Amino acid sequence: MSISSFLLKPTSASFTVLYFGGIYGVFRYSPFIRSAIFKPNITIPLCSIVLHSIWIGSVGSISFMEAWVKFQAPSITKGIALDVGRHVFSALALVEKVLGFVSISLHILRPTIELQVVPSIVIWSHTWFVMPALLHSAQLIIKGSNPPPSKAHVIGIFMEVLKLGTLITITAHSCWSFLNQ
C-alpha cells in the first residue's frame, strides 16, 4: 500500500482524522466562519455559494471536458470510452442528487431564488427520460452493433447546459445576497 492511498483512502483512519481535523480547523480558527455559523442570513448564502460552486465544477469538468476528451485518446476504443462514460455519469448523477437535495434544503431554510429547484428537476428528468436511452445506445455500441439515431444525446446536452446556466445564476444570486447583508 502506498503512502498516498493510505492517507487518502476514504475508509482509513488517517483520512478521517485529516478530513474532520481540517473541518475543525476551519471552524475553530476562522473568526469569520465561526461568527457566521449562528447567523442564518450569512451562513445559508455562504453554504449555497460553496455548494453550487462545487456543483458547477463537477458538471463543468465531467460533462463538458471528460465526456468528449476521453474519445480523443488514440489508445482506447469507442466501446471502452462509452463504458467508462456510463460509470462516470452514473456516479455523477448520484452525487448530483445529493447536491440537489442539499440545495433544496437550503432553499427551504431560507428561500432566496426559486431557480434552486431547477437543477434537481433537470437531474431527475435526465435520470428518468434521457439516461435510459443513452445507456441503451452505449450498451449496443459496446456489444458491437450500431444503434439507430436518437435525439437523447442532444436533449442531454441541452439539459446539462440548462443545469449549468441555472447553477451559475444561483451562485451569482447567492454571492449578491451574501455581499449585501
- What's the rounded mean pLDDT across residues 76-87? 89
Query: What pLDDT digit, counting tens, does each position of 14-61 carry?
Result: 545 554 555 455 455 555 555 555 566 667 788 888 899 999 999 999
**Dihedral (Cα; 141, 145, 148, 151), 10-degree rounding:** 0
Q: What does the alpha-carbon distance between residue 46 and residue 171 come to, in Å, rounded to a whole number?
A: 10
Instruction: Tell whether the model's pLDDT for residue 109 goes beyond 90.
Output: no
CA-nearest of 44, 163, 179, 19 to 97 is 163
What are the CB-based long-range contacts (under 8 Å, 24+) for 140-145?
A: 141/78, 141/79, 141/82, 142/79, 142/82, 142/83, 144/79
Choice among 29-38, 77-86, 155-164 with the minimum mean pLDDT: 29-38
Phi and psi, residue 111, nearest 5°: -60, 125
Beta carbons within 10 angstroms of residue 51's beta carbon: 20
pTM of the model: 0.74
Q: Would you state the pLDDT for residue 4?
A: 42
Grid cell digits, residue 111? 428561500
